[in-house]
Amino acid sequence: MKLQGKVALVTGGARGIGREIAMLFAQEGADVVICDVNLESAQATQKEIEAKGVRSMSFSTDVTAFKEVEGMVNLVLDNFKHLDILVNNAGITKDNLLLRMSEEDWDKVLAVNLKGVFNCTKAVSKVMIKQRSGKIISIASIIGIMGNAGQANYAASKGGIISFTKSVARELASRNINANAVAPGFIQTAMTDKLSEEQRKAMLATIPLNRLGVPRDVACACLFLASSDADYITGQTIVVDGGMSM
Ligand code: NDP
């Protein structure tokens, strides 16, 4: 039980990688708060978390709106009295080649993926500074390190998360707050399930460990960073990509 007695907030926690992180944290004894735009699926995840014997709450909160995020954090504090772990996981893609990418698609991806991380980190930092403790984990991507044709907006947002994390880590280190990022490679989700056999083979050829990642691979890295095992690690990005980007 690595997170016994801790309270964690996972954005975009209703499904996919965020849901897996939430479930693993609950399994390790944390009370877990789910923030997602889709209340129905957030509530369903809340029920699954509670079935593990820990407390949970779910919020329909859009991470792009600072006031909404601040209101959610205040309600979490009213109920749980402390907030120890933030996982900035909510993220979207709106892919297109640069010349075809609309200003709207650029703005939307930056708003959710990067401004959302700023909003949640800012709101939660205030609490963690008072507590003199906290762990902030942001889900970036190897695309934020390597770049990718057709994903200029996504790559900029994920690269931004990595440098944002380093700055926040420097600012908050004296208050015993760690800020780190996790950069997944190709993770098996509904999106990658849609790939043709040919596309899957081509992708696998670039991955030394010869398999796509699963959400649990990412969740385990988050668990490590959220636990006291990572107390002396801050400002880092852990790459979880089967060796693809080395
Ligand atoms: P999913 O699309 O499966 O899940 C993302 C979740 O975030 C959804 O529940 C979504 O809600 C929610 N969300 C979207 N916008 C907002 C918002 N404005 N406010 C709050 N919640 C929001 O994605 P994945 O699980 O695949 O990805 C999770 C993270 O991991 C993302 O940051 C992604 O960029 C990153 N990542 C994923 C990789 C992969 O291969 N899957 C690889 C590298 C990084 P709704 O369902 O209602 O839209």
Question: Which ranges in 147-213 belong to alpha helices (H)?
Answer: 152-172, 190-193, 197-204
Report the alpha-carbon distance of residue 246 to residue 187 in Å, rounded: 17
Ligand 1 centroid distance, CA of 93 (Å): 9
The alpha carbon of 48 and the centre of ligand 1 are apart by a number of angstroms equal to 19
**Does 56 map to a domain?**
yes
Structure tokens at 27: 């399994």
Instruction: Say how many domains are in the chain.
Output: 1
pLDDT in tens, 91-141: 999 999 999 999 999 999 999 999 999 999 999 999 999 999 999 999 999
Residue 115 placed within a domain:
yes
The residues that bridge with 181 in the sheet, in sequence order, are 138, 237
Q: Is residue 246 part of a domain?
A: no
pLDDT, residue 174, reads 98
Q: Among candidates 56, 183, 179, which has minimal Cα distance to 124?
A: 179
Phi and psi at residue 196, to the nearest 5°: -75, 165
| Token couple for 110 | 């930056």
Who contacts 201 (Cβ-Cβ below 8 Å, separation ≥6)? none
CA 234/CA 176 separation, integer angstroms:
10
pLDDT at residue number 191: 64
Q: Taking the C-alpha atoms of 228, 12, 126 and 142 in order, what is their torsion angle to the nearest 10 degrees?
A: 60
Decide if 232 is catalytic. Answer: no
Residue 209 belongs to a domain: yes
CB 29 within 8 A of CB 45: no
- Residue 1 covered by a domain: no
Residue 32 CA to residue 197 CA, distance in Å, equals: 37
Find all residues with CB under 8 Å of 70, minimum gap 6, and list them: 123
Hey, which of 38, 92, 164, 237 would you mutate to test ligand 1's pocket, going by the most ligand atoms within 8 Å of its Cβ? 92
pLDDT in tens, 180-197: 999 999 999 876 777 788
Catalytic residue among 25, 59, 154, 164: 154
Q: What CATH number should be reported for the domain holding residue 210?
A: 3.40.50.720
* Token pair of 241 as six digits: 């990509």
Q: What is the distance in angstroms between the CA of the first residue and the CA of the last residue of the chain?
A: 32
Domain membership flag for residue 2: no
Residue 197 falls inside a structural domain: yes
Angstrom distances, CA of residue 169 to CA of 118, 164, 177? 13, 8, 7
The ipTM assigned to this model is 0.99
Q: How far is the CA of 221 from the centre of ligand 1 (A)?
A: 17
**Which residue range(s) make up the domain with 142?**
7-240
Residue 26 lies in a domain: yes
Low-confidence ranges of the chain (pLDDT < 70): 191
